């Protein structure tokens, strides 16, 4: 269910995340989709519709994240918190591989998030390869 987000707040969020998905860092301008405003703490868990709890998300990351706040770390097999785009720095938890097509986790949070949001699914790595050839990826966010 969608919720009304004031236009000014939408602009602030878009600017803060440089029109990229806060999770997989895909640039909206490279896609044919409209990115969405994602409640980091879901509304079902009393997450508020405020700047600090909203991020820009590609539709895919938003769908896979859904109302989750944690996910299984595939290495430790323990539940780990998902990446929080406002409270944590992307570069503390993720790094691009050498050719810019895959996101490598640096932490348990990173591993859980990559796994839960399927941030390296094959369709995405294929299209990232094309974006790299065009000099449009990875974004310097």
- Report cis status (omega within 30 of 0) of the bond before 138: yes
Verify binding: residue 24, Zn ion, rule CB under 5 A: yes
Verify binding: residue 27, Zn ion, rule CB under 5 A: no
The single-letter DSSP state of residue 27 is B
Q: What is the distance between the alpha carbons of residues 117 and 62, in angstroms, rounded to a whole number?
A: 8
Q: What is the distance between the alpha carbons of residues 134 and 10, in angstroms, rounded to a whole number?
A: 29
Verify binding: residue 35, Zn ion, rule CB under 5 A: no
Residue 8 or 140 with smaller CB distance to Zn ion: 140
20-28, 34-42, 47-55, 89-97 -> range binding Zn ion (CB under 5 A): 20-28
Tell me the C-alpha to C-alpha distance, in Å, between residue 14 and each of 8, 76, 111: 10, 34, 25
Minimum Å gap between C-beta 60 and Zn ion is: 6
Verify binding: residue 21, Zn ion, rule CB under 5 A: yes
State the chain's maximal CA–CA distance in angstroms.
43
The number of residues that bind Zn ion (CB under 5 A) is 5
Radius of gyration, alpha carbons of the chain: 15
Residue 27 or 58 with smaller CB distance to Zn ion: 58
Q: What is the distance between the alpha carbons of residues 52 and 1, in angstroms, rounded to a whole number?
A: 20
Verify binding: residue 82, Zn ion, rule CB under 5 A: no
In the range 36-75, which residues lie near Zn ion by CB under 5 A? 58, 61
Minimum Å gap between C-beta 37 and Zn ion is: 13
Among 23, 64, 94, 131, binds Zn ion (CB under 5 A): 23
């Amino acid at each position: 269910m969608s919720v009304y987000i004031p236009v000014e707040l939408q602009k602030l969020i878009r600017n803060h995340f440089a029109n990229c998905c806060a999770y997989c860092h895909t640039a909206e301008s490279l896609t044919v989709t409209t990115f969405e405003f994602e409640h980091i703490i879901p509304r079902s868990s009393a997450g508020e519709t405020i700047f600090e709890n909203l991020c820009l998300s590609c539709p895919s990351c938003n769908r896979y994240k859904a109302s989750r706040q944690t996910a299984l770390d595939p290495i430790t097999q323990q539940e780990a918190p998902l990446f929080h785009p406002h409270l944590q720095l992307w570069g503390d938890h993720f790094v691009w591989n050498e050719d810019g097509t895959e996101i490598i986790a640096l932490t348990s949070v990173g591993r859980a998030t990559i796994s839960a949001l399927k941030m390296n699914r094959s369709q995405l790595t294929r299209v990232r390869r094309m974006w790299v050839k065009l000099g449009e990826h990875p974004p310097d966010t």
